[in-house]
Structure 1
Amino acid sequence: MDTPDRQLRYFLRIAELKSLSRAAEDLDQTQSGLSRQLAALETYVGKPLFIRTGRGVELTEAGARLLDGIQPAYGNIDRVLESVRQREGVTQGTVRLATVHTLSYYFMAEVVASFVSSHEHVNLSVMGRSSPEVVALVESGKADVGFVYDSAVASDNLASTTLFDDDMCLIVLAGQPLMDNVDLAGMNLRLVGFPPHYALRKMIHSAGLEPEFVAEAETIDAMLKLVSSGVGACILPSRIPDKLLNDYGLRKIRVHSPILRRRVVAITLAHRQPLPLVGELLASAHRIARQ
């Protein structure tokens, strides 16, 4: 009997995502079709491989043994295939990167320029999302790598490596008579902020601040435009370029207290070795972060 390679690949994806429905979506299969493939594999093995739970599926003892046996093998196959493509000069393809919106204003341009300059025939697809959405994209396999705040990463399915620490600042109209090193706890803050599920919004509340949010925006440009209209200030990473703020008639105020700092990390799937192109993108990101 032929080795059920496709069924094993499907089994791996279900095990990684711990959900039949999510695996079906990721594999571009119907859930019923994927269920039939899994049933055929279970018949071939002679044992159930998953048990259904209220939150998805969990491996049986037989499923766990099968996963332990085939996961390293398929990881090696994928790496060898990519390595052969690299050695033979076949470097066309796509690397899918998901990143939190804020990084596109002061980090991503250098990363993209560095990677693309040495991989002219590789398409780097960059998706700007909120922190929870970046995590979901990487966990589901729809992004190969993600750049995100570490506070959003709470999944055993993901591996993370530190890129850099990000300190926040208060951004106000250029004409406001505020000195540096302000204590935000002693201020009557009226802020333009990201929606509540964004990591930066959660950070503000975690620091014990209870500002009045007068407006919400999902992009930095929209946020800066609102601040420039005088409706309130905003809190953003201090790495935001001064030139961008000048275009909106705004300036930065350093924050003395409370300390508002978030660690930016790169995330990939924990149980899958990144392919060479992804590894090279990560190397570029780490090099630029050190600079």
Structure 2
Amino acid sequence: MHDFRPIENLDRSLRCFLRIAQLGSVSKAADDLGQSQSSLSKQLTALEQSLGQALFIRTGRGVSVNDAGQLLLQAIEPAYSRIDTAVHAVRQDQGVSQGTVRLATVHTLSYYFMSDVAAAFMSAHPGVNLSLLGRSSPEVVALVESGKADIGFVYDSAVDCGGLSSHTLFDDQMCRISAQQDKAPNADLSSQPLRLIGFPPHYALRRMIHSSGLSPEFVAEAETIDAMLRLVASGLGDCILPSRIPDNLLHEHKLYKYPIEQPILQRRVVAILRADRDPLALTSRLLECALRIAQGLPETSRQ
């Protein structure tokens, strides 16, 4: 049998030894572990006394393991690596069943995409809190960049930052929505004057209209689709929105949807995440759910 003198908090002492060996400095290890240097030195001394061996030799810039320290390091470093990996995996599994995931999304998606994604995700993860943040495209990007949102759904035209990774969801084709019923609508918007209710200028859909070459008169602005549709229903002007806006919503306001052939008004919707960190398990599950729902969407047509 091995003659081993028991030591209190052996796991903590071994982890302290491991970090000192990895960093080659007691002071750096103390900073990394959030301890005072004297406290860490005491734990190291207690470990060495228990083992009956010194574990380090001093160097000009710090410490390095001696033969006994190298033997201990080779034994415990892979073991603690496996332990930490296992603990991380258990925490990830726990995070799939409970916790919060923060999703920032452009307003339009809440009317024809987000409800399906949220329903499917919450059905599979009933103990999870899904926090939804409806914003403009630039605001969605800013929330994900800052870490205030775990994932964002946004138009790709707003994503110009190398710090984000994007995953294509689907393409959105635009349509014209009007209070006037037209049995022979003109699908070429470039050949007719337009009075529009639109989002504010910093919204991606508003910028898309300007970049298409159209020069409409914007008679009013609204930050929500409900407000926009109410203004259109009043006869103030038309609006341009994704063609996937539900027909029943338009019927409630007695509005009509017309296709647009010219100019081509189409935008790609993407999911964005921070590129400099691995997403949490919940975030990955939400992304998987969104990609699956997106694959099942019917194709839109300009016809």
TM-score (norm 2): 0.69
Equivalence for 2:227: 222
TM-score (norm 1): 0.72
Equivalence for 1:206: 211
The structure having more radius of gyration, on CA atoms, is: 2
Which whole-Å CA distance do the structure 2 matches of 1:127 and 1:150 have between them?
18
Equivalence for 1:109: 115
1:138 to 133, 144, 154: 144
1:20-39 aligned at under 5 Å gives the runs none
1:253 to 258, 266, 281: 258
- Superposed CA deviations along residues 217-257 of structure 1, whole A, max 9, x for unmatched, are 00000000000000000000000000000000101000010
- Structure 1 segments of 4 or more deviating over 4 A? 77-82
Which whole-Å CA distance do the structure 2 matches of 1:6 and 1:205 have between them?
55
Whether the 8 Å CA contact 1:111–1:288 is kept in 2: the answer is yes
Shift of 1:176: 2.7
Is 1:273 aligned to residue 255 of structure 2? no
Is 1:93 aligned to residue 99 of structure 2? yes
Give the gaps of 5 or more residues in structure 2.
Answer: 1-26, 35-60, 62-82, 297-303
2:202 to 197, 205, 214: 197
Which whole-Å CA distance do the structure 2 matches of 1:120 and 1:5 have between them?
38
> 2:282 is matched by which residue type in structure 1?
L
2:241 to 236, 240, 251: 236
Equivalence for 1:74: none
Whether the 8 Å CA contact 1:93–1:122 is kept in 2: the answer is yes
Q: Which protein has the bigger strand share?
A: 1
Equivalence for 2:124: 118
> 1:263 is matched by which residue type in structure 2?
R
Equivalence for 1:162: 168
Q: Closer, same or farther in 2 for the Cα pair 1:159/1:187, shift >3 Å?
A: same
Give the gaps of 5 or more residues in structure 1.
Answer: 8-44, 46-76
Q: Closer, same or farther in 2 for the Cα pair 1:90/1:161, shift >3 Å?
A: closer
Whether the 8 Å CA contact 1:179–1:253 is kept in 2: the answer is no
Which whole-Å CA distance do the structure 2 matches of 1:108 and 1:283 have between them?
14
Whether the 8 Å CA contact 1:164–1:264 is kept in 2: the answer is yes
Q: Please report the RMSD computed on the Cα atoms of aligned residues, expressed in angstroms.
A: 2.4
Whether the 8 Å CA contact 2:96–2:125 is kept in 1: the answer is no
Which whole-Å CA distance do the structure 2 matches of 1:115 and 1:285 have between them?
8
Shift of 1:177: 1.9
Is 1:147 aligned to residue 169 of structure 2? no
Q: Closer, same or farther in 2 for the Cα pair 1:81/1:191, shift >3 Å?
A: farther
Which whole-Å CA distance do the structure 2 matches of 1:176 and 1:214 have between them?
20
